[in-house]
Amino acid sequence: MCIKWLKRIRPLRILDGKIMRKIALEKIRNIGVIAHIDAGKTTTTERVLYFTGKTYKIGQVDEGTATMDWMIQEQERGITITAACTTCKWRDININIIDTPGHVDFTIEVERSLKVLDGAVVVFCGVGGVEPQSETVWRQADRYNVPRIAFVNKLDRTGSNFLDTIDQMHKKLGANAAAVQIPYYQNEVLSGMIDLIGKKLIIYKDELGNEMETKEVPAELLSEVNKQHDILLEKIAEADELMMDAFVHGKKTDEAQIKEAIRRSVIANKFVPVLCGSSFRNKGIQLLLDAVCDYLPSPADLPPIKGTNPDTEEFEEIIASDKAPFCALCFKVATDPYVGKINYIRVYSGSISSGEYIYNASKRNRERLTKLVRMHANRQEIIEKVHTGDIVGAVGLKETRTGDTLCTEKNPILVEAMRFPEPVIQQAIEPKTKQDQERMGMALHKLAEEDPSFRITYNHETGENIISGMGQLHLEIIIDRIMREFNVEAQVGAPQVAYRETITKKIVSTGKFIQQSGGHGQYGHVVVEMEPQEMPGTGVTFEEKIKSGAIPREFIPSVKQGIFDAAKSGALSGYPVTDVKITLIDGSFHDVDSSEMAFKMAAAIAFSDGLKKANPILLEPIMDMEVVAPEEYMGTVIGDMNSRRAKIVSINPRANVRAIRAYVPLAEIFNYATVLRSLTQGRASYTMEPSFYAEVPSHIAERIISGLASSGARKSF
């Protein structure tokens, strides 16, 4: 009897020595926490870990004890830098959470997280409302079609306004959002919330938020609650047919029906329920967790993702099922001091065990998975097997990089790659000694592998290593890591703008690489059309329209390679070239002397010569900037902005301050934090993010090209 029973509950997998059964797909939620900087993402995630029993003590961002902000640089600065994953359980649902950074310099972390997540909790600050970076992450979530719920945080603070934040979500984000709760204050202290679906009051009984009591809605609030309840139903009806039908025909809907309608419309990405609370005061987290389970999709609820078969180049659907062939996407690479390189993967279909071989369809090679780990911020738990829907760490994959698809050799598939932002700022870095040079080489390689928005180049003219990234803070953190983690002493130049070059005229250019003086010669000849891209931001593209075999097919990839190599350095000042459309239209070859190398060289010559003829210009990054300052400083701040070539877009009142939105060239706002502090006695704040590239005015371009505007003071570390 006993043996039989034991057999029946045979474990399907072992987790760190503990017996665990495989989790049904419907019981999984893969969610991200996204928001403007400082909105309270990490504070909220720490509370989630506490209330789900994952941690026994609440981690505090301000004390540097947050589990999710584990990097020393995060703890010192009180900000999140790297997206951290963890897993917890609420009710019978397993939740994989990724806490993302809000600072725009680390936008790649949001981008890669949204790529693999099934749903998101968007946190808003109840005082700041919909801040610029909230708009950015919202647009990112739109791009990946990620269903979301909203949590308006910091409602304990004076000046916070829950309903106004929802109003801003309508106006600034165009979101079909409505409150499913409203905050409840007693003597101006946030003490609970009123659930608008069931129309009941939930009061917190203790500071830690462990005890809650459900009560009737106080009579004086009934009319407001009824009004908000009706608005909620109306908004859901806009997104859900069944609800619309009930609404139009005046049918009564019960609590369960309303919740089902919310779930359907959230998964369809047509509605955003808005919750409220204060993570710092431990209010609203349990209800947020309920909403994550009730409304956000499981991997089974979403339509299958599409991939391309690399052999046939045809689209194929990847079915979320353990029975389907294995397919996963590597979305992050990190180096752990003990485990070594960890590839974070999201499994879209099938399952795999440690020790098995996988096929990297992006690199077209086989690699062995030596270990599988479940990530808890920077800690790992060893697991034997991963299943569809899981987000885990894989160890042992030497060649696999961010964006690579892992699958089986029999069923190769490529999941659409993610977008990596272009760096806007660069800095020279020189090691002090020979030993430092070796260590720095290793450090730069490892860091670039972890972070696709960080690039390394070598300036042949000056003999300097140049590091490029998304902003001053990004490079500051990279330099700090090079010094501390890799023990490198280095000198760094002042941060400089990463300019770009482009062309303004359509031309035809010819490139010849012909050497025929005795022995085996070289013969490459290409004719290309070069024109400005219609859409800025498209980058350099290559198309081939060769007629009647003027260039044999086998040499076309070399032509493309030659062009992309040459595009790394422009005609004016050697900055990378962007937004040029190249069409290969003609050329010729020699039966014996033509080689891949000869065509690569010929293409590079055609491109470089063409650039000079096509009226090249210099482009600079323009930042979308918001300065929030008290009314009395408006004149000073605007005056200063005007002296920085800023174009002011809007000035809006916000609570008791004003928000100025402007486009400013990055070159004009280095170290703006210090400037703004002294202009406003520390009473203003600002955020900015790269928005687009624009032509540098000619008098400034001349100075940059002649080298006058780009010398930077050296800093030594």
Ligand X SMILES: Nc1nc2c(ncn2[C@@H]2O[C@H](COP(=O)(O)OP(=O)(O)OP(=O)(O)O)[C@@H](O)[C@H]2O)c(=O)[nH]1
Binding site for ligand X (CB under 6 A): 35, 37-43, 61-62, 79-80, 101-103, 153-154, 156-157, 278-281
Residue with tokens 């600050």: 125
Reduce the DSSP state of residue 491 to 3 states and report it.
strand
Shortest CB 642 distance to Mg ion, Å: 34
Asked if 89 contacts 75 with a C-beta cutoff of 8 angstroms, the reply is no
Q: Which does 35 bind (CB under 5 to 8 A by kind): Mg ion, ligand X, none?
A: ligand X
Q: Which does 105 bind (CB under 5 to 8 A by kind): Mg ion, ligand X, none?
A: none
Query: Which helix (H) or strand (E) element contains residue 246?
Result: helix 241-248
What's the rounded Cα separation, in Å, for the pair 403 and 398? Answer: 14
Q: Which does 148 bind (CB under 5 to 8 A by kind): Mg ion, ligand X, none?
A: none
42 belongs to the binding site for Mg ion (CB under 5 A): yes
Of 41 and 263, which has the nearer Cβ to Mg ion?
A: 41
Shortest CB 47 distance to Mg ion, Å: 13
Of 181 and 279, which has the nearer Cβ to ligand X?
A: 279
What's the rounded Cα separation, in Å, for the pair 480 and 473? Answer: 10
Number of residues that bind Mg ion (CB under 5 A): 3
Q: What angle do CA 203, 287, 88 make, to 5 degrees?
A: 130
What's the rounded Cα separation, in Å, for the pair 40 and 123? Answer: 7
Shortest CB 99 distance to Mg ion, Å: 6
Of 68 and 236, which has the nearer Cβ to ligand X?
A: 68
Of 90 and 280, which has the nearer Cβ to ligand X?
A: 280
Positive or negative CA dihedral for 491, 493, 494, 500?
negative
Q: Which does 43 bind (CB under 5 to 8 A by kind): ligand X, Mg ion, none?
A: ligand X
Residues in region 591-650 near Mg ion by CB under 5 A = none
Shortest CB 288 distance to ligand X, Å: 12
Q: Which does 385 bind (CB under 5 to 8 A by kind): ligand X, Mg ion, none?
A: none
Q: Which does 612 bind (CB under 5 to 8 A by kind): ligand X, Mg ion, none?
A: none
Shortest CB 416 distance to ligand X, Å: 27
Q: Which does 661 bind (CB under 5 to 8 A by kind): ligand X, Mg ion, none?
A: none
Alpha helices in 63-205 (DSSP H): 72-77, 107-116, 132-143, 162-173
Asked if 570 contacts 612 with a C-beta cutoff of 8 angstroms, the reply is no
Q: What does the DSSP 8-state code read for residue 632?
A: G
Shortest CB 158 distance to ligand X, Å: 10
What's the rounded Cα separation, in Å, for the pair 675 and 684? Answer: 11
45 belongs to the binding site for Mg ion (CB under 5 A): no
Residues in region 124-163 near Mg ion by CB under 5 A = none
Shortest CB 43 distance to ligand X, Å: 3
Of 162 and 280, which has the nearer Cβ to ligand X?
A: 280
User: Whose CB is nearest to ligand X?
Assistant: 102
Shortest CB 44 distance to Mg ion, Å: 9
Shortest CB 175 distance to Mg ion, Å: 23
Half-sphere exposure of 84 (CA within 13 A, CB side): 21
Of 42 and 87, which has the nearer Cβ to Mg ion?
A: 42
C-alpha to C-alpha distances, 2 to 5, 8, 9, 11, 462, nearest whole angstrom: 5, 10, 11, 16, 77
Strands (E), 309-364: 315-318, 327-336, 340-349, 352-353, 357-360
Of 80 and 465, which has the nearer Cβ to Mg ion?
A: 80
Of 78 and 325, which has the nearer Cβ to ligand X?
A: 78
36 belongs to the binding site for Mg ion (CB under 5 A): no
Shortest CB 284 distance to ligand X, Å: 9
Shortest CB 348 distance to ligand X, Å: 28
Structure tokens at 160: 């916070």
The identity of residue 286, as a single letter, is: Q
Estimate to the nearest angstrom the gap between the alpha carbon of 162 and the chain centroid: 27
C-alpha to C-alpha distances, 487 to 299, 316, 440, 443, nearest whole angstrom: 43, 47, 9, 9
* Only segment of 72-80, 122-130, 328-336, 522-530 that touches Mg ion (CB under 5 A): 72-80
Of 124 and 523, which has the nearer Cβ to ligand X?
A: 124
User: Bridge-partner residues for 307, per DSSP?
Assistant: 316, 415
Minimal CA–CA distance to 561: which of 600, 611, 598? 600
Shortest CB 99 distance to ligand X, Å: 7
Of 153 and 380, which has the nearer Cβ to Mg ion?
A: 153
Of 66 and 567, which has the nearer Cβ to ligand X?
A: 66
Taking CB under 5 A as the criterion, the residue among 34, 37, 40, 41 binding Mg ion is 41
Shortest CB 285 distance to ligand X, Å: 10
Q: Which does 39 bind (CB under 5 to 8 A by kind): Mg ion, ligand X, none?
A: ligand X
Of 74 and 367, which has the nearer Cβ to Mg ion?
A: 74
What's the rounded Cα separation, in Å, for the pair 84 and 380? Answer: 12
Provide long-range contacts, Cβ within 8 A and 24+ apart, for 443-447.
443/481, 443/482, 443/485, 443/486, 443/488, 444/482, 446/335, 446/486, 447/478, 447/481, 447/482
User: Bridge-partner residues for 97, per DSSP?
Assistant: 31, 86
Asked if 169 contacts 157 with a C-beta cutoff of 8 angstroms, the reply is no
* Only segment of 77-85, 128-136, 398-406, 587-595 that touches Mg ion (CB under 5 A): 77-85
C-alpha to C-alpha distances, 500 to 426, 470, 575, 603, 607, nearest whole angstrom: 12, 14, 5, 21, 16
For residues 265 to 284, the per-residue mask of contacts with Mg ion, x marking binding by CB under 5 A and - elsewhere, is --------------------
Of 40 and 147, which has the nearer Cβ to Mg ion?
A: 40
What's the rounded Cα separation, in Å, for the pair 7 and 59? Answer: 41
C-alpha to C-alpha distances, 318 to 321, 331, 404, 519, nearest whole angstrom: 9, 17, 15, 54
Shortest CB 467 distance to ligand X, Å: 22
* Only segment of 13-21, 38-46, 585-593, 663-671 that touches Mg ion (CB under 5 A): 38-46
Q: Which does 63 bind (CB under 5 to 8 A by kind): Mg ion, ligand X, none?
A: none
Shortest CB 673 distance to Mg ion, Å: 19
What's the rounded Cα separation, in Å, for the pair 473 and 74? Answer: 12
Of 62 and 216, which has the nearer Cβ to ligand X?
A: 62
Quickly count: other Cβ atoms within 10 Å of residue 381's Cβ: 16
Taking CB under 5 A as the criterion, the residue among 80, 94, 472, 578 binding Mg ion is 80
Of 105 and 436, which has the nearer Cβ to Mg ion?
A: 105
Minimal CA–CA distance to 580: which of 610, 554, 620? 610
Q: Which does 30 bind (CB under 5 to 8 A by kind): ligand X, Mg ion, none?
A: none
Q: Which does 279 bind (CB under 5 to 8 A by kind): ligand X, Mg ion, none?
A: ligand X
Residues engaged in binding Mg ion (CB under 5 A): 41-42, 80
